Structure 1
C-alpha cells in the first residue's frame, strides 16, 4: 500500500521549533500529507501546559491526545496509507503505544537523526563495582527486570510489530534496543544539523578572527527538566553573573568579541540583560560558529557545528552544576573530544586561553562518522532522503 500521510508522534510541546524540525515543508513537497499528534499529556501527565503562543496556522496540523482511550480510538481509525513517525521512547511504560499500532497494523518508523553528545551516546561507565550496584539498585528489582526483558525480547514475542523503517545518522546512531528485526529497513542518513550545515555552505561568509561564540543552553529556564524529572535549582542571577564575569575577562584580556547563540527555547526579551550588552542572536547558530575562531559551551548539541567546521571548543562548568546528572556530561564531553574544560568558579586569571584552543582532527572526524553522518550516505536533505526511501518501497 502506498504511503500518503505521515503522522508525527510528539512527546514535547508542539511549536514552531518542532514544526521545522520534522521537515513538514519537505514532506509536503514530496507529496505526503503531514499531521502531528501531541501526546505530551498522555506520556508526561505531570508536565504543565506550555506558556508559549503558537502560530494558529500550524496548530491546525496538530491533534492533542490526552488519554489512552482517545489514543486507541484514534489509532483504530487510521487509514492503511499512514506511516507514524514516532518520538515516543520505546520502554515498558509506553508498551500500549506500540501495542495499539500493532493491533491495528499501522506502520511506524523512527528517525534517529537528532544531535548527540559523545558522553551521552556512549555506554555508561562506572568507577568500580560498588558504583555500578548503587546505580542499578535505585529502581525496584521488578521494574529493572521488566525493563530489561522488554528491551531484550524480540518485539514480536510481546505482540509488537517491528518498525517499518529507521533512519540513522552515523555509525552509532543505530540502537539494537528498538523494536526492529530483519524486515525493518535501516537507512543510513545524517543529522538535522548536517542539513543546516549544507545550507550554510551555499552562502558567502567572512571569517572573524576575534569572534567567540557561546552556545547557550537556556540553563535556568529550559523545560527539559519537566520531562526528565530532575529538579534543577540553578539561580538565574548567579548563573548569568558568572558567565558575564568570565566573558568580560576574555574580552578584556584577549580583545575577543563574544556573541551569544541563543537556544531555541530561550526568551531573552522576557529575560533581558542576562548577558549584559552582548549581542544575542537566535536561529543563526550554524552561521555564527562558521565565522568564529572559538566556541564556548556547556554541553550543547550544537557542538556538531563546531566539529563540522573544525573549530576549537572550550567547555564551561561551575560549582553549582555539581550533583546534576545533566551537567555531569560536560566533563565527559570535554574528555571524549580532548577539549579544554574550565570551571568558571575556579580558574587562574593567568590562564592562557590561546594554549587551550586546539582541535583533534582525528576525533572530530570520527565523531562525524559516528553521530552526524553515515559514511557514503547521500547529501540529500534528511526529509528528502526519508521521502525517497518510502517511495522506493512502493516500487
Structure 2
C-alpha cells in the first residue's frame, strides 16, 4: 500500500502545480506528500522559489538526492516525476533505477509535433543532424539514453497517468517502452477537466468577441531557461495589434486577450492597445467567443472542445528566428484544418474563417485530451483511487 507520494520536479513548486497534481486530494486521503525541487541542479540561479512549506525540499546535488532516497521506505513510497526523460536528466533516472524506486509519470500536455513520415523526409532529417554537430550530439546522446532504458539499466515507469492516446509521448525518450510495459491509467488533460468544470460559468462579456490565446512569445521565461532565441517584442506586438484592428473591422467583434499565466509584464504595461486582458479565464472566454486566434498554445484545446473556428497565426520573425515553433504552428493548422495567416503580410480581404472540422476536432480530442474511459470521470478521483489501490 502506498502511504507517501514524492513529487519530483526541476522547477520550484507553484500553486498551479499543487492543483494539477492533486496535492489536496492526497492529503484528504491521509497520504503523506513531499515535493523535491531539483531546480538548483538543472537551472541554477535562473528560477526563483515560488512557495515555502515544510513538505518542500530544495535539493542542490545528486548526492543529496541519493541521501533523501535512502531515507524513504521505498516499498510504501511512489515517486512521481514530471520531468521528461532525455539524456540531460539521465543521472536522475539512473539514481531512481539504482534504488529500485517505484515511479510514476503524468503523461499529459502532448502536442501534435510534426515528424517526417516519408522516406525522403526521414533521410533529410538524418542528413540535417549529420551536418549540424549540436543536433548530431543531442541525437546520439538520446540514442544512448534509449539504449539504457531498453536494456533495463534505466527502469521504465511503473505507472502512467495518460491523457489521450498520444499523451504517452510526453514521457520522452523510450516512451514506446512504457507503452508496452507500464500500467497505464487513462485520465483527462488539464484543459479537458477545466472545460467540464466551467460548463455552467457565466458569460464574462456582453458584446460579441473573439479571443486571442496569448503565449507571451517575446518574454516567456521558459525560452530563457532553455536558451531558445525568441522574437523582438516591439515588432511582434505592433503587427499583432494591426492584425487585431483588421479582425475587429471585418467581423464586427471585439478582440480580447486570454493572457498567458506567466505574462507578468502585462500587469505593468499595456501591450495590446487598451484591449481587455484576462488571466486564468481562458476556458470561460473561449466558451462564449465567436472564434479563436492562436499560434500553437495547448489551450487550443478549449477551441476544439467548444467547436470554435480557429485562426492560426504566424509571422516572418517566428519563421526566421524560431523555425521549430513555426513548423509546430503550421502542423497545428494542418491537423485542425484551420486557416493560417502571416500577421506581417495579411490584408483584411485575405482573412478566411473556416468552419470547425468535426472529424479533425474529434481526432484531436481523443489523441491529446481524453479517452472514452475517462471522458465522463474526474481525473483527481481517478488518480487518488489508483494510488489507494496500489
Q: Which of the residues 181, 184, 195 maps onto 2:182?
A: 184
Relative to structure 1, is the Cα distance of residues 256 and 318 closer, same or farther in structure 2, using a 3 angstrom cutoff?
same
Q: Which of the residues 159, 165, 172 maps onto 1:171?
A: 165
TM-score using structure 2 length:
0.89
CA contact (8 A) 1:7 1:36 kept: yes
CA drift of 1:29 comes to: 2.5
TM-score using structure 1 length:
0.88
Q: Which of the residues 296, 312, 323 maps onto 1:315?
A: 312
Task: Report the aligned-residue RMSD.
Answer: 2.5
Structure 1 residues 275-286: aligned runs within 5 Å: 275-286=272-283
Which residue is 1:147 aligned to?
Answer: 142
Which deviates the most, 95-104 or 298-307? 95-104
Which residue is 2:66 aligned to?
Answer: 72
Corresponding position: 1:235 with 2:229: no
CA contact (8 A) 1:208 1:293 kept: no
Question: 1 or 2, which has the higher helix percentage?
Answer: 2
CA drift of 1:270 comes to: 4.5
Which residue is 1:54 aligned to?
Answer: 50
Q: Which runs of 5+ in 2 are unaligned?
A: none
CA contact (8 A) 1:168 1:189 kept: yes
Which residue is 1:83 aligned to?
Answer: 78
CA drift of 1:300 comes to: 0.8
CA contact (8 A) 1:315 1:334 kept: yes
CA drift of 1:226 comes to: 2.7
Task: Provide the C-alpha distance between the structure 2 equivalents of 1:153 and 1:159, rounded to a whole number of angstroms.
Answer: 5
For residues 43-77 of structure 1, what are the alpha-carbon distances to aligned partners after superposition, in whole Å with 9 as ceiling and x for unaligned?
334x6133xx7354xx4432111111111111121
Structure 1 residues 183-222: aligned runs within 5 Å: 184-205=182-203, 210-222=208-220
Relative to structure 1, is the Cα distance of residues 189 and 145 closer, same or farther in structure 2, using a 3 angstrom cutoff?
same
CA drift of 1:109 comes to: 0.3
Relative to structure 1, is the Cα distance of residues 40 and 78 closer, same or farther in structure 2, using a 3 angstrom cutoff?
same
Which residue is 1:105 aligned to?
Answer: 100
Q: Which runs of 5+ in 1 are unaligned?
A: none
Relative to structure 1, is the Cα distance of residues 9 and 334 closer, same or farther in structure 2, using a 3 angstrom cutoff?
same
CA contact (8 A) 2:311 2:338 kept: yes
CA contact (8 A) 2:46 2:225 kept: no
Which residue is 1:63 aligned to?
Answer: 57
Corresponding position: 1:294 with 2:294: no
SS at match of 2:311: strand
CA drift of 1:91 comes to: 2.1
Task: Provide the C-alpha distance between the structure 2 equivalents of 1:336 and 1:135, rounded to a whole number of angstroms.
Answer: 26
Task: Provide the C-alpha distance between the structure 2 equivalents of 1:22 and 1:256, rounded to a whole number of angstroms.
Answer: 37
SS at match of 1:244: helix
Relative to structure 1, is the Cα distance of residues 350 and 183 closer, same or farther in structure 2, using a 3 angstrom cutoff?
closer
Which deviates the most, 169-178 or 183-192? 169-178
Relative to structure 1, is the Cα distance of residues 254 and 95 closer, same or farther in structure 2, using a 3 angstrom cutoff?
closer
SS at match of 2:35: strand
Which deviates the most, 170-179 or 303-312? 170-179
Which deviates the most, 308-317 or 325-334? 325-334
